[in-house]
Amino acid sequence: MKFFVDTADTAEIAELAATGLLDGVTTNPSLIMKAGRPMKDVIAEICKITDGPVSAEVAATDYEGIMREAKVLAAIAPNVVIKLPLTMDGLKACKALTSAGHKTNVTLCFSATQALLAAKAGATYISPFIGRLDDINLDGLELIREIRTIYDNYGFATEILAASIRTINHVRDCAIIGADVATIPPSTLKALVKHPLTDKGLETFLADWAKTGQSIA
């Protein structure tokens, strides 16, 4: 499973990119707002940090407006992925952009039938929001299972990009189900390496090593 980081904080992205574990980046209007800088500048800087896919979201909701904004975003860098709303106009734009050779990420998916439509429109990625479904007492992970089954049934190439991830368990379960990508907040991504037994074991090993009085270097 590929790991994308869900942030527009370029310092966080650079730190995670240095680990070699980062496959891409997703942004949205809310994250751009938090960055407090012009969107095009932020996206351009992110694309210099990583050569992986970088999702940049349109703000327009009508087809013509979406296409105008997509043209501007696509010109920023070759690895920009155009992020589109899961609406009829968004799907129409997805089909047109995909046909023109652009990568697309259809976002705000909350049902398997929506995901089916996005795949038929040629989306590169579909972004089901599992955390937001959990918030209203629905099973977000069940949506990932349903989409995986549908896509496998028909051989769709669209990748399942699990979004709105809140916990380490979300990441684990998405990997078990077979999501292609998880886009994860920086804090959650960093927490994946943590385990109390790892910390305890390392502490014991270091204490024993100190008793030997040896030095490797």
Using DSSP, state whether 75 is helix, strand or coil: coil
Q: Could you give the dihedral angle defined by the CA atoms of residues 79, 76, 115 and 137, in that order, rounded to the nearest 10 degrees?
A: 100
Catalytic option among 83, 92, 190, 200: 83
Inter-residue long-range contacts of 186-193, CB under 8 Å, 24+ positions, other chains counted: 186/5, 186/7, 186/9, 186/12, 186/15, 186/16, 189/3, 189/5, 189/16, 189/21, 190/16, 192/168
Question: Phi and psi dihedrals of 62, rounded to 5?
Answer: -95, 155
* Total residue length of the chain: 217
Beta carbons within 8 Å of 194's beta carbon, 6+ residues apart: none
* 83 flagged as catalytic: yes
Dihedral over alpha carbons 70, 76, 81, 85 (to 10 degrees): -30
Q: Catalytic residue positions?
A: 83
